[in-house]
Structure 1
Amino acid sequence: MPADVLLFSNSRPPGAEVPFAHAAEPLRRHLGERVVWFLPWAGHDLDAYTGFVGDALREVLGPLDVRGLHAEPDPAATIRDADPDRETVFGGGGNTFRLRRRVGDNGVLAALRDRTDLRYAGASAGSNLACPTIMTTNDMPIVDPGGLDALGRIPVQINPHYLDPDPHSTHRGETREERIHEFHEENAVTVVGQREGAWLHGTDTSLTLDGYTARLFRRGHEPAELAMGTDLTWLTT
């Protein structure tokens, strides 16, 4: 039976000084007292990134054992051997293509696909990794990711940091909505455009938007606004 997922648009919404403070309660319920294996590969300085996220989570949640998976002799084996009652996984934000490349190269992607019984949380790039593919990330492909397929822990795509069109902008490139429309010219998978502060909570029987609003994009349909607290379970069937 698949374990819960908690997928954030970002770690710190506008106006917030402390990362994850806007989501303290869902994080506390999700992580519990488990060891948190942090995936830092979307960043560059892996030790520093792990330390930053660990400190941020402890500031919000209190004592918490956060460990960088990159420091393990065999990260994939650590995932394969993890106890779902005592351990969980957190995918950090950064560059999604770099994250996908690293977890593909070191076997963590394959191990996580097999361990759907492990709870998974992610922010930004880490949330993209939980989707069927990483194709709705906003990031520049700074490395060849070795594939676009991801974990498939939820059956919809996330576009984190979703931005609404600014009628006063002088930018002449595609809006985020136009880019998602281009995605749907080639793909039929539903996309949830998560505005800053929003997250998706998925269980084996439900999918819910919380934290803030989002925008729903389905092929052949007009985009729809999603209020905080919207039940999206119907998208999983």
Structure 2
Amino acid sequence: MKNLLLASTSTLHGTEYLEYLLPELKIHFKNCKNLLFIPYARPSGISHEEYTQKTAQAFAKIDINIKGIHEFEDPAFAIKQAEGIFTGGGNTFLLVSQLYQHKIMTVLKETLENGTPYLGTSAGSNIGGLSMQTTNDMPIIYPPSFQTLGLIPFNLNVHYLDKDTQSTHMGESRETRINEFHQFNNFPVLGLKEGSWLEIKNNTIILKGGLTAKLFRKNREVIEIEPNSNLDFIQ
């Protein structure tokens, strides 16, 4: 029953917020006049109200209305009644902390598994995986658990960048950090590049966008996955 889009980013260089995804979103949310927006990740520390207004302006271009979950007295009820749901990017630690604080991690998972159409970007996509442990974000707040929605059988590393062999930067690459993760965890990690997203229909997962993705599995060779590939083999 799942009907999800998990995108690496909301905004490509030189474009406006969500602009590159709008044609897909018009199809994905074709039966929705209203969306519930979860602004808890608060990129750059903006308020829930500012973030919701920004999102409303983008979705107005495809004639969809936006209401923030913070506007409801009962966030669990808002999730259950939503025609569609969008969780925006920002800080994954903050997002996960808020989902647990409001006691809606489980109800969000159940609602999405029952078919409510969902969009996640960045942090909102991170929570689709088994845990948030492969986020790139700073731990600005400590959530009660790293466990997330488990809507896909692996983790994501969004905004994934291949190592630049010409760079003099001596810091860790994304691949290095994922290898560190696999010293203590067994489940796969998909490096999802800017402009790429996963389309999940029921239990079928397709890599969309024009770029490859990187699949990391513990003690196994890294795989480069081509666009439009079926990812159902990842376990």
Q: TM-score, normalised by structure 2?
A: 0.92
Moved over 4 A (4+): none
**Structure 1 residue 25 displacement after superposition:** 2.9
Aligned counterpart, 1:50: 52
Matched, 1:96 2:92: yes
1:24 partner SS: helix
Counterpart residue identity of residue 197, structure 2: W
Indicate if the aligned counterparts of 1:209 and 1:231 stay in contact, CA closer than 8 A.
Answer: yes
Q: Extract unaligned runs of 5+ from structure 1.
A: none
1:48 partner SS: helix
Indicate if the aligned counterparts of 2:59 and 2:65 stay in contact, CA closer than 8 A.
Answer: no
**Structure 1 residue 192 displacement after superposition:** 0.9
The match for 1:20 among 7, 18, 21 is 18
Matched, 1:181 2:179: yes
Distance (Å, rounded) in 2 between the aligned partners of 1:24 and 1:227: 23
Aligned counterpart, 1:216: 215
**Structure 1 residue 234 displacement after superposition:** 1.6
Indicate if the aligned counterparts of 1:214 and 1:225 stay in contact, CA closer than 8 A.
Answer: yes
Percent identity over the alignment is 36
**Structure 1 residue 168 displacement after superposition:** 2.5
Aligned counterpart, 1:69: 69
Aligned counterpart, 2:231: 232
Indicate if the aligned counterparts of 1:33 and 1:64 stay in contact, CA closer than 8 A.
Answer: no
Aligned residues: 228
Distance (Å, rounded) in 2 between the aligned partners of 1:3 and 1:65: 22
Counterpart residue identity of residue 229, structure 1: N
Task: Kindly provide the CA deviation profile for residues 99-122 of structure 1, in whole angstroms up to 9, marking residues without a partner as x.
Answer: 000111012212112222122210
Distance (Å, rounded) in 2 between the aligned partners of 1:135 and 1:205: 23
* Residue pairs, 1:79-118, within 5 angstroms: 79-80=79-80, 82=81, 87-115=83-111, 116-117=113-114, 118=116
Task: Kindly provide the CA deviation profile for residues 177-209 of structure 1, in whole angstroms up to 9, marking residues without a partner as x.
Answer: 010111111111111101100000112131000
Q: Extract unaligned runs of 5+ from structure 2.
A: none
Q: TM-score, normalised by structure 1?
A: 0.91
Task: Kindly provide the CA deviation profile for residues 24-71 of structure 1, in whole angstroms up to 9, marking residues without a partner as x.
Answer: 332122112312111100003000001101211223xx2101110111
Indicate if the aligned counterparts of 2:2 and 2:203 stay in contact, CA closer than 8 A.
Answer: no
**Structure 1 residue 215 displacement after superposition:** 1.0
Counterpart residue identity of residue 226, structure 1: I
Task: Kindly provide the CA deviation profile for residues 76-123 of structure 1, in whole angstroms up to 9, marking residues without a partner as x.
Answer: 12223x16xxx1111100000000001110122121122221222100
* Residue pairs, 1:130-209, within 5 angstroms: 130-209=128-207
**Structure 1 residue 221 displacement after superposition:** 1.5
Q: CA RMSD in A?
A: 1.4
Counterpart residue identity of residue 90, structure 2: G
Higher mean displacement: 180-189 or 110-119? 110-119
Distance (Å, rounded) in 1 between the aligned partners of 2:196 and 2:212: 6
Indicate if the aligned counterparts of 1:19 and 1:57 stay in contact, CA closer than 8 A.
Answer: no
Counterpart residue identity of residue 134, structure 1: M
Indicate if the aligned counterparts of 1:201 and 1:207 stay in contact, CA closer than 8 A.
Answer: yes
Distance (Å, rounded) in 2 between the aligned partners of 1:107 and 1:101: 10
